[in-house]
Amino acid sequence: MGMTVYFLRHGQTAWNAEKRMQGQVNVPLNDEGRRQAREAAGRLPAIGLCLTSPLDRARETARLALGGEGTPMMDEPLLIEQGYGVAEGRDQTAAYVDPQDPMYNYGPAPQDYRPPEGGESFEALCLRARVFLSRRLLPLEGQYDTVLVSAHGALLCAIFRELLGTQMADFWQNLLPHGGVRAMTVENGVCRLLEAPPSVRP
């Protein structure tokens, strides 16, 4: 019968609205983010299992999108957002215009990005995504017809990159908007991503 997976990016937070590097800081949804999460409910069928990042913004997005229907939810540490180390909380716009800033290449040229102290490289993030797919998600085929994965922008891009085999320079080409949903079918371990909503930029 196969399995359908729905990938959901969390709703907006105050730090998203302020364009601050959020990473693994546990910032909650704002009112707009809660609205986006409730709106996502209309793009989801009945879900058998939800795997979510342990950060509150992803967990609350999943709860609101599921509409309190009693779907089992499991925290999955591999789904936590990319860590930015000492740059977490930094103004994103200012970082992108300063060539001396460690976050300078993060959005425009991910292939040249070198993480700041305590941060996570794109290569390490993609390895984490690969482990999630092979050890956590794909083994669920045959147990569930539908699975929801509630996570973060960069982490979901890493998953999509692993599935599509895109170059690191194109890492952001599948970035979901806040509250955005993308579906994937799994048949006998073979994954096929379905059409995505219009991409946004980090």
Active site residues per annotation = 10, 81
Is 13 within the bounds of a domain?
yes
Kindly report, residue by residue over 144-184, the tens digit of the pLDDT: 999 999 999 999 999 999 999 999 999 999 999 999 999 99
pLDDT digits (tens, 9 = 90+) for 109-125: 999 999 999 999 999 99
> Does some domain include residue 202?
no
Assigned domain for 198 exists:
no
Domain membership flag for residue 47? yes
Is residue 138 in a domain?
yes
Helix count and strand count (H, E) for the chain: 6, 6
Number of folded domains in the chain? 1
Whole-number average pLDDT of the chain: 95
Residue 12 inside a domain? The answer is yes
Q: Are strands 73-75 and 49-52 parallel, antiparallel or unpaired?
A: parallel
- The amino acid present at 61, given as its one-letter code, is T
Assign residue 73 the CATH number of its domain. 3.40.50.1240
- Range of 27's domain? 3-187
**66 CB neighbour count, 10 Å cutoff:** 21
Please indicate, yes or no, if residue 81 is contained in any of the structural domains.
Answer: yes
Dump the DSSP string for the chain. Answer: --EEEEEEEPPPBHHHHTTB--TTS-PPB-HHHHHHHHHHGGG----SEEEE-SSHHHHHHHHHHHTT----EEE-GGGSPPPBGGGTT-BHHHHHT-TTSTTTTTTT-GGG----TTB--HHHHHHHHHHIIIIIIGGGBTTBSEEEEEE-HHHHHHHHHHHHT--GGGGGGGPPPTT-EEEEEEETTEEEE-PPPPP---
Q: What is the pTM of this model?
A: 0.96
